[in-house]
Amino acid sequence: MSDSRPVLEAIDVSKYVQGPDGRLDILHRVHLSIPAGESFAIVGASGSGKTTLLGLLAGLDTASGGSIRLDGHELGELDEERRAAVRRRLVGFVFQSFHLLPALTAEENVMLPLELEGDDDARSRARTALANVGLAERRRHYPAQLSGGEQQRVALARAFVHGPRLLFADEPTGNLDQKTGQQVGDLLFALNREHATTLVLVTHDARLAARCARSAELTGGRLGVAA
């Protein structure tokens, strides 16, 4: 259940880059406010700026204009090192292409964010997280030895293992077939409810977006009114 306090706010956020033909505007004065515990979907066609917006909200990139406040931290006032520290402490990520490290086992991939924080109980917590996504028996397998659905379940375990305040998911079912995507979606929302995490989801899948409490469409770099 969400409360009324925004854990994530974007005010007049813009993003542009300089190209060979001049300035290219990607996002135009985006405004949103997401309360703690809410699930929020950003939908739109390919090239509409969804992934760019997600990267800005998560502090992976910096805006060209406007302000973004993540759990009380004004991201524009932080250098990359301090933004990285905020991400490690507060944020979990799930990506379309899984982003697992191929030289690490499933267990070691899940342990990684805990080890970066110096957690002495990283292995035990990683095993619990893998058990929660049904992969206790696959913990010693490497990504190449896992199916796409299993890799995404490892990614979910890694995203939730440190108890993030916010989870950012970029097309989390985009590389999966319909049946596997449904299973991963079910698991994503089940874990989100269990951990009371704020979920910000980017997808072109209307069925996945409909499972969120609110959604808004990004068109031509502009975010429509949230439903």
Please say whether the beta carbons of 55 and 61 come within 8 A.
yes
Q: Tens digits of per-residue pLDDT, 151-197?
A: 999 999 999 999 999 999 999 988 888 899 899 899 999 988 888 89
Q: Which CATH architecture best describes the domain 6-223? A: 3-Layer(aba) Sandwich (3.40)
Is residue 4 very low, low, confident or very high in pLDDT (cuts 50, 70, 90)? Answer: low
Name the H helices within the chain. Answer: 50-57, 80-90, 106-116, 122-132, 148-160, 178-195, 206-210
pLDDT value at 1 more than 50? no
Q: What is the mean pLDDT of the chain?
A: 91
Domain boundaries, the chain: 6-223
Which phi and psi (to 5°) does residue 218 adopt? -100, 120
- Nearest Cα to 126, choosing from 103, 142, 109, 147? 109
- How much is the average pLDDT of 143-152? 95
Q: Tens digits of per-residue pLDDT, 56-83?
A: 999 999 999 999 999 999 999 999 999 9
Under DSSP, the state recorded for 60 is S
Q: What percent of the chain has pLDDT over 90?
A: 73
Residue keyed to tokens 């406007």: 66
**Per the structure block, which two tokens stand in for 14?**
């813009």
pTM: 0.88
**Torsion angle (degrees, nearest 10) of CA 81, 83, 85, 91:** -150
- β-strands 91-95, 166-170: how paired? parallel
More confident residue, 103 or 4: 103
